[in-house]
């Protein structure tokens, strides 16, 4: 391939968001299925992370679940992906390949649209918090027509697919 035939694969820019603080936006149209960016950051054991958070030594703002035991903290060694906001009707999703999480476009995304994924926050405690408390503690401002009002994951339907959604997003919360 000649240099002239190369495509500019830099799809995103970071700027102020109407959803919250800083967000990530499409610099150009992004076709469905595009691997947009890796969710980079320091790998850390969830147990360590939660202990540090309980002691008030660490925030969980940029934390992404990786697997049962490990999370990624985008606050350290992170990249622009850490600024992607949540939406209850997102245009991106997280997939993990070879233990590396990537943000993928789950639909065609027009230029200038904000990129979002569904955080699906889950409690690390055995008891589920009520919807009312979820909305109070983790309110959602995504503005989607079917916004559930919270960043917390909806309860699993009994006949839900066996895919483990915790592998796709969801920073651990206390
Ligand atoms: C990974 S950061 C996203 C980047 C963030 N906007 C910033 O300026 O740093 C996650 C935090 O952004 C906020 N956030 C993201 N999506 C949101 C939403 N839909 N509604 C309200 N707050 C949101 C929450 O405070 C959340 O803990
Ligand atoms: Zn919402």
Ligand 1 nearest-atom number relative to CA 88: 19
Top pLDDT among 71 and 126 is at 71
Check pLDDT > 60 for residue 160.
no
Of ligand 1's listed atoms, the one at least distance from the Cα of 74 is 1
The pLDDT mean for the chain works out to 87
**Does the CB atom of residue 75 touch ligand 1 within 6 A?**
no
pLDDT-based confidence at residue 36 (cuts at 50, 70, 90): very high
**What local confidence, expressed as pLDDT, does residue 169 receive?**
45
Of 85, 114, 147, 152, the one to substitute when testing ligand 1's pocket (max ligand atoms within 8 A of C-beta) is 85
Reported as a pLDDT band with limits 50, 70 and 90, residue 164 is: very low
Res 77 pLDDT > 90? yes
Q: Which domains does the chain have, with CATH numbers?
A: 3-173 (2.170.270.10)
Torsions phi, psi of 133, nearest 5?
A: -70, -40
Distance 151 CA to ligand 1 centre (A): 9
pLDDT of the residue at 170: 45
pLDDT higher than 50, residue 112: yes
Q: Could you list which residues have their CB under 5 Å from ion ligand 2?
A: 88, 140, 142, 147
Q: What is the mean pLDDT of residues 33-53?
A: 94
Instruction: Using the mean position of ligand 2's atoms as its centre, give its distance from the Cα of residue 89 in Å.
Output: 7
Contacts of the segment 156-163: beta carbons below 8 A, 24+ positions apart? none
- For the segment 86-96, the average pLDDT, to the nearest whole number, is 98
Q: What is the 3-state secondary structure (H, E, C) of the chain?
A: CCHHHCCCCCCEEEEECCCCCEEEEECCCECCCCEEEECCCEEEEHHHHHHHHHCCCCCCCCEEECCCCEEEECCCCCCHHHHCEECCCCCEEEEEECCEEEEEECCCECCCCEEEECCCEEECCCCCCCHHHHHHHCECCCCCCCCCCECECCCCCCCCCCCCHHHCCCCEEC
Average confidence (pLDDT) over 57-78: 93
pLDDT grade, residue 2 (50/70/90)? low
Between 120 and 9, name the one with better pLDDT. 120
Say how many C-beta atoms besides its own lie within 10 A of residue 40's C-beta: 17
pLDDT of res. 127: 74
Find tokens 């209850």 and name the residue: 88
Q: Looking at residue 1, what is its pLDDT?
A: 46
Q: State how far the alpha carbon of 93 is from the alpha carbons of 7, 106, 132, 160, 171, in Å.
A: 23, 6, 26, 18, 14
Please indicate whether residue 122 or residue 74 has the higher confidence score (pLDDT).
74
pLDDT interval class at 162 (50, 70, 90): very low
Measured CA to CA, the distance from residue 120 to residue 149 in angstroms comes to 12
């Amino acid at each position: 391939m000649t240099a002239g035939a190369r495509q500019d694969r830099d799809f995103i820019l970071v700027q102020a968001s109407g959803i919250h603080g800083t967000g990530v936006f499409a610099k150009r149209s992004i076709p469905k299925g595009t691997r947009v960016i890796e969710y980079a950051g320091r790998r850390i054991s969830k147990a360590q992370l939660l202990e540090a958070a309980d002691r008030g030594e660490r925030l969980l703002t940029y934390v992404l679940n990786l697997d049962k035991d490990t999370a990624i903290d985008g606050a350290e060694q992170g990249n622009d992906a850490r600024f992607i906001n949540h939406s209850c009707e997102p245009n991106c999703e997280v997939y993990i390949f070879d233990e590396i999480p990537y943000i993928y476009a789950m639909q065609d995304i027009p230029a200038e649209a904000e990129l979002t994924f569904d955080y699906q926050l889950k409690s690390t405690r055995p008891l589920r918090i009520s919807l009312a408390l979820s909305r109070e503690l983790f309110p959602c401002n995504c503005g989607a027509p079917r916004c559930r009002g919270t960043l917390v994951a909806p309860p699993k339907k009994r006949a839900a697919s066996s895919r483990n959604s915790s592998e796709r997003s969801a920073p651990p919360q206390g």
